[in-house]
Amino acid sequence: MTIGLDGPLLLAGVGKMGAALLAGWLEHGIDRRLLHIQDPDPPASSSELLSAHGLVAESRARPGDPLCAILLAVKPQIMDDVLPALANIATSETLILSIAAGRTIKSLAKHFDAGQPIIRAMPNTPASIGRGIAVVCANDDVTERQRDLCTSLLNAVGEVVWSDDEALLDPVTAVSGSGPAYLFLLAECLAEAGVEAGLPPELAQKLARATVSGAGELLHRSDLDADELRENVTSPGGTTAAALEVLMDEDGLQRLLTRAVEAATRRSRELSS
C-alpha cells in the first residue's frame, strides 16, 4: 500500500503516536517532500527517526498553503494552545484529523471556520509495530476522498473501523486505547504470581512475557473466538480449570475489567466535557 497525497500534510506532534504514524507512512512510501512536521520539543527517539529520513520538526507551512490535511497528535491538554496557529494555515479544503483522546469534533470545530472537515480517531499504541486499531468518526463536511485519505493514513499502522456515533469513542478509548496497559499489567501480575509460587524472578518474567505475547499472537492468527481458544487449553479437572475457577468467579477477572472499562469510559467523558 502506497500512501498518495493530494498536497502537503502537516503532522503536529511527534510523540509516541505521532512518531508511530510517521514511521508507518514512511514505510509505505509517502512522499517525504509533502510532509511538514511541527513539534517544538520532539523526544530523542522521534528526532532520530526524523534525522534518518532527512526531516525536521519545524513546519514550513504558511497561511494560504494548500495543505490537504493536518494530523493533530499533540496532547489533549495543550490542544487549545496549538489550534489557533494551525487554524490560521488551514484552508476550507484541509482535512483536520485528530487522534487526541477526549477531544470531541465539536471542541475542535470551534477553532475553525464553519464547514471545516474534521475527523476524530482513537488509535492505540500497538500502532508502533503496525498492529494498532483505530475507530474513526467524521463530521458531515468530510468528503469521500478525505475519508479514503484518513483510512490510508491510519491503515499504515493497523486496522481502521468507521463509526457514525462519536459517543462510542469514549468506551472505545477504554477498551482499545487503554487496553494495552491492561495486558501489560496482566504480564506483570502473572510474573509476580510466578515468583510467589517459587519461580526465580527472571524466569517468571520471561515466562509471563512469552505467554502473554504468544497467546495474543495465537488469538490474532486463529479463526476461533477467545472463549473457544480458552476451552481448548482447559482440560476438565486439570490445572487450568483450577485457575479459571478463581479467575471466573463472581468477583473475578470479568468484574474487575468491567469496573476498569467503566472508570476509563467515565474519565474519557469527563475529558470530553
pLDDT one-digit tens code per residue, 5-29: 889 999 999 999 999 999 999 999 9
89-109 average pLDDT score: 94
User: Which H helix or E strand runs over 10?
Assistant: strand 9-12
> Which among 113, 158, 103, 111 is positioned nearest to 135, based on CA atoms?
158
Higher-confidence residue: 41 or 187? 187
Q: How many CB atoms lie within 10 A of CB 228?
A: 10
Let me know the angle formed at the C-alpha of 220 by 218 and 226, rounded to the nearest 5 degrees. 75
Which of 139, 169, 199 is the C-terminal boundary of a domain? 169
**Residue 157 sits in the same domain as residue 248:** no
Q: Which of 2-6, 27-31, 90-94, 180-184 has the lowest mean pLDDT?
A: 2-6
- Cell of residue 117, nine digits: 472537515
Does 32 reside within a domain?
Answer: yes
Let me know the angle formed at the C-alpha of 238 by 233 and 244, rounded to the nearest 5 degrees. 65
pLDDT at 91: 93
**Residue 160 sits in the same domain as residue 231:** no
pLDDT at 1: 67
The total domain count for the chain is: 2
pLDDT digits (tens, 9 = 90+) for 133-161: 999 999 999 999 999 999 999 999 999 99
**Residue 112 sits in the same domain as residue 199:** no
**Residue 14 sits in the same domain as residue 124:** yes
Task: Round to whole Å and give the CA distance between 43 and 24.
Answer: 18
Q: Which of 35-44, 60-69, 127-136, 189-198 has the lowest mean pLDDT?
A: 60-69
**Residue 92 sits in the same domain as residue 23:** yes
**Residue 213 sits in the same domain as residue 130:** no
Place 165 in a pLDDT band, splitting at 50, 70 and 90: very high
Which of 116, 142, 169 is the C-terminal boundary of a domain? 169
What whole-number percentage of the chain has pLDDT above 90? 85
**Residue 162 sits in the same domain as residue 221:** no
pTM of the entire structure? 0.91
> What CATH number should be reported for the domain holding residue 153?
3.40.50.720
> What CATH number should be reported for the domain holding residue 256?
1.10.3730.10
- State the chain's mean pLDDT as an integer: 94
Strand partners, 201: none
The answer on pLDDT for 171 being more than 70 is: yes
Q: Which domain holds residue 209?
A: 177-272
> Which among 272, 264, 271, 74 is positioned nearest to 177, based on CA atoms?
264
Torsion of CA 104, 147, 70, 117, to 10 degrees: -60
Cβ neighbours of residue 145 closer than 8 Å, sequence gap 6 or more:
6
Does 2 reside within a domain?
Answer: no
Instruction: Quote the strand ranges of 62-212, DSSP E.
Output: 69-72, 95-98, 118-122, 132-138, 158-162
Q: Are 86 and 118 in contact (CB under 8 A)?
A: no
pLDDT at 153: 96
**Residue 149 sits in the same domain as residue 218:** no
Torsion of CA 212, 44, 268, 152, to 10 degrees: -80
**Residue 164 sits in the same domain as residue 181:** no
